């Protein structure tokens, strides 16, 4: 009898164990999340960490639907959809966010950050927290988290670029960004805006001598086939941020808001971890193996770039933004550097 009882319990447990997944409750909230990168990219992996955490921690109260590879439109398109409430969360980068809230252009200033850690501390500062609040109040878009996907670096076909003097005479492709134009021009180069889709052929045919992008992009798009020299000067932070509809966020109960915020931080940490490894190890090694001459400037050489660029960039920013705000941003980063130096002295 005992054997039969355990057999019955086992069969019953198996039945309910198999049946349970088909018995689901509809979520109280649906969060549609869009990004522009390919499925299984570091960014996409971050979004799926977000999905897994939010759905699990909310006990199924929030359903997350991830749409990769610009399925719902370009980065600009989907941010407009977030503003309109059609979707709830989307990717932004340092090249697009300022078109929705102009003060965010400060994040794309060349040589603003010396490394990822400075950027992380700035994004956690009271100054940036207030900037984010102002953006949410004015536009209905809130940055939940952000991650560096690598700093932009120079490549070219003419010669190694070790100091700003080496930029003389180089036709450098730049995106259609005023700060990128000012940056290259102030170094003595010839900035040349060329559409992204024409860049490879422009490098191949010599329309331009060089371009600038993060290591991952240089690798992913095979620029090593048409470029010889790479300078790891880290002149501009590449920043992917998760932007949520403020209206949707505030519609959630407080405990679910915290779950969404935590999930977003996990997503950014996931992307950053993989991108950082690519940018500093695998990506650099791949480019060397493909024949690129990779140069790491010394701090003194980097200073020649920064010193050439800082004044004209700040002049531009002071015309576009409140000069007091620009001064406060540079001052905050100076304070971060001073605090970091104090830790090792």
pLDDT tens for 218-252 read 998 999 999 999 999 999 999 999 999 999 999 99
Q: Does the structure show a pLDDT above 70 at 4?
A: no
Q: Report the percent of the chain where pLDDT is more than 90.
A: 87
Residue 20 has pLDDT above 90, yes or no: no
User: Domain extents for the chain?
Assistant: 2-344
Are the C-beta atoms of residues 31 and 54 closer than 8 Å to each other?
yes
- For residue 270, pLDDT beyond 90: yes
Which is the CATH superfamily of the domain at 2-344? Bacterial extracellular solute-binding protein, family 7 (3.40.190.170)
CA distance 214 to 191: 18
Q: Which of 224, 158, 221 minimizes the C-alpha distance to 189?
A: 158
Q: What is the pLDDT of residues 330-341, one digit of tens each?
A: 999 999 999 999
Which of 30, 148, 150 shows the shortest CA–CA distance to 89?
30
Condensed to tens digits (0 to 9), the pLDDT of residues 281-309 reads 999 999 999 999 999 999 999 999 999 99
pLDDT by residue (tens digit) across 143-202? 999 999 999 999 999 999 999 999 999 999 999 899 999 999 999 999 999 998 899 999
Q: How confident is the model at residue 24 (pLDDT cuts 50, 70, 90)?
A: low
Q: Which helix (H) or strand (E) holds 214?
A: strand 210-214
Cα separation, 32 vs 34, in Å, equals: 7
Q: Which two tokens stand for residue 219?
A: 């690798």
Mean pLDDT of the chain: 92
State the pTM of this model.
0.88
pLDDT of residue 97: 94
Per-residue pLDDT tens digits for 168-182: 999 999 998 999 999
Average pLDDT estimate for 312-328: 98
């Amino acid at each position: 009898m005992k054997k039969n009882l355990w057999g019955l319990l086992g069969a019953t447990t198996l039945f309910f164990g198999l049946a349970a997944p088909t018995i689901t409750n509809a979520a109280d909230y649906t969060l549609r999340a869009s990004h522009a990168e390919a499925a299984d990219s570091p960014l996409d992996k971050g979004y799926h960490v977000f999905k897994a955490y939010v759905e699990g921690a909310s006990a199924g109260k929030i359903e997350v639907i991830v749409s990769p590879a610009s399925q719902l439109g370009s980065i600009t398109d989907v941010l407009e959809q977030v503003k309109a409430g059609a979707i709830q969360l989307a990717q932004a980068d340092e090249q697009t966010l300022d078109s929705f809230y102009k003060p965010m252009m400060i994040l794309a200033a060349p040589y603003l950050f010396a490394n990822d850690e400075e950027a992380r501390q700035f994004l956690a500062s009271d100054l940036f927290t207030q900037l984010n609040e102002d953006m949410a109040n004015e536009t209905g878009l809130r940055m939940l988290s952000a991650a560096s996907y690598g700093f932009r670096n120079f490549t070219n076909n003419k010669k190694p670029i070790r100091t700003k003097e080496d930029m003389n005479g180089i036709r450098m492709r730049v995106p259609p960004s005023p700060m990128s134009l000012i940056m290259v021009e102030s170094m003595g180069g010839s900035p040349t805006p060329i559409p992204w889709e024409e860049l490879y052929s422009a490098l191949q045919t010599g329309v331009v001598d060089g371009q600038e992008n993060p290591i991952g992009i240089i690798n992913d798009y095979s620029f090593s086939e048409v470029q010889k020299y790479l300078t790891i000067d880290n002149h501009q932070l590449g920043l992917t941020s998760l932007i949520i509809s403020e209206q949707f966020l505030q519609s959630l109960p407080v405990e679910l808001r915290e779950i969404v915020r935590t999930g977003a931080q996990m997503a950014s940490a996931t992307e950053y971890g993989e991108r950082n490894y690519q940018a500093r190890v695998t990506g650099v090694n791949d480019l060397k193996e493909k024949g690129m001459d990779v140069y790491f400037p010394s701090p003194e050489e980097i200073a020649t770039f920064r010193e050439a660029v800082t004044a004209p960039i700040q002049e531009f920013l002071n015309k576009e933004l409140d000069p007091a705000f620009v001064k406060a941003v540079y001052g905050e980063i100076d304070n971060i550097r001073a605090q970091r130096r104090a830790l090792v002295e």
